[in-house]
Amino acid sequence: MKTKNIILGLTGSIAAYKACELINLFRKDGFCVTCLLTKEAKEFITSLTLETLSGNKVVEDMFALPENRTPLHTSLAEKADIIVICPATANIIGKLASGICDDILSCTVFSAKAPVLIAPAMNDCMYNHKIVQKNISILKELGYKFAGPIKGRLACGHTAIGHLADTATIFKESKKLLR
């Protein structure tokens, strides 16, 4: 049986540390995980941590030359069985809904035929903003799947919607899409 390839995209949220738990769940179940970091994600988590947990090189630069000399985002997209964006900020949700591909994560998503699971994490005011909700609706209409967010403690200290879904839930939803 072929090993399933997970592309895990991380964006600039304090919840980025939770991706470490998710990587462990994927690896424990025998999946291959390749992490893609946006510029903003690097403010919250290091490549060294993600490479150590995933066992694979972390991709940060869209213009880095891949080993096979094909465009990096398309070679990543071709091998993806699923793309999981965890955590997903309002920024990446807006980019995807608007067709903006200006980083390795958005370019890979737009090049892939694999299902995409988005796990939002942001302040409740941001999450409930009409534009963010419209962008989520657009993505859902296009077939993108979402896990969360849930009500929980936010970085600002409030308890409200916008907290990243439990990693077990994200893992379970990912596995459903891999069938």
Active site amino acids = 156
Measured CA to CA, the distance from residue 49 to residue 140 in angstroms comes to 32
